[in-house]
Amino acid sequence: MTESWRALAKPSRILVTGAAGFVGFHLCKQLLADGHTVLGIDNLNDYYAVQLKRDRLEQLQKLSGFAFSELSIHTEDYTKAHADFKPDILVHMAAQAGVRYSIDNPWVYVESNLIGFQRLLETLRAYPVRHFVFASSSSVYGKNAQVPYKVTDRTDQPVSLYAATKKSNELIGSTYAHLFKIPMTGLRFFTVYGSWGRPDMAYFSFTKKILQDSPIQVFNHGRLKRDFTHIRDIVESIRRLIHLPPSGEVPYRLLNIGASQPVELMDFIRTLEDLLGKRAHLEMKPMQPGDVLQTYADTRELEELTGHKPQIDLHQGLREFASWYRDTDAGSKYL
DSSP 14-76: EEEETTTSHHHHHHHHHHHHTT-EEEEEE---SSS-HHHHHHHHHHHTTSTTEEEEE--TTSH
Note the pLDDT tens digit of each residue in 299-311: 999 999 999 999 9
Residue 326 counted as domain residue: no
Query: Coil, strand, or helix at residue 171?
Result: helix
Residue 250 counted as domain residue: yes
Quote the percentage of the chain above a pLDDT of 70.
99
Q: Closest by alpha carbon to 135, among 103, 161, 106, 97?
A: 97
Residue 319 counted as domain residue: no
CATH number of the domain residue 236 falls in: 3.40.50.720
Residue 270 counted as domain residue: no
Query: Coil, strand, or helix at residue 95?
Result: coil
Query: Which pLDDT value is given to residue 222?
Result: 87
Residue pair 200/111 in contact by the 8 Å Cβ criterion: no
Residue pair 113/165 in contact by the 8 Å Cβ criterion: yes
Report the mean per-residue pLDDT for the chain.
Answer: 95
Note the pLDDT tens digit of each residue in 154-197: 999 898 999 999 999 999 999 999 999 999 999 999 999 999 99
Q: How far apart are CA 297 and CA 283, in angstroms?
A: 29
Query: Coil, strand, or helix at residue 144?
Result: coil
Residue 320 counted as domain residue: no
Other C-beta atoms lying within 10 Å of the C-beta of residue 295 = 25
Note the pLDDT tens digit of each residue in 191-238: 999 999 999 999 999 999 999 999 999 998 888 999 999 999 999 999
Residue pair 264/224 in contact by the 8 Å Cβ criterion: yes
Q: In terms of residue numbers, what domain contains 158?
A: 2-194+228-259+296-310
H/E stretch holding 202 reads helix 202-211
Query: Which pLDDT value is given to residue 290?
Result: 76
Query: Average pLDDT for residues 268-281, to the nearest whole number?
Result: 96
Q: How far apart are CA 268 and CA 179, in angstroms?
A: 44
Note the pLDDT tens digit of each residue in 49-71: 999 999 999 999 999 999 999 99
Helices (H), 181-255: 202-211, 231-241
Instruction: Tell me the pTM.
Output: 0.96
- Terminus-to-terminus CA distance in the chain, angstroms? 42
Query: Which pLDDT value is given to residue 204?
Result: 95
Residue 85 counted as domain residue: yes
**pLDDT above 80: residue 86:** yes
Split at pLDDT 50, 70, 90, the class of 99 is confident
Residue 316 counted as domain residue: no
Residue 8 counted as domain residue: yes
Residues belonging to the active site: 162
Query: Which pLDDT value is given to residue 55?
Result: 98
Q: How many domains does the chain have?
A: 1
| DSSP code at position 195 | T
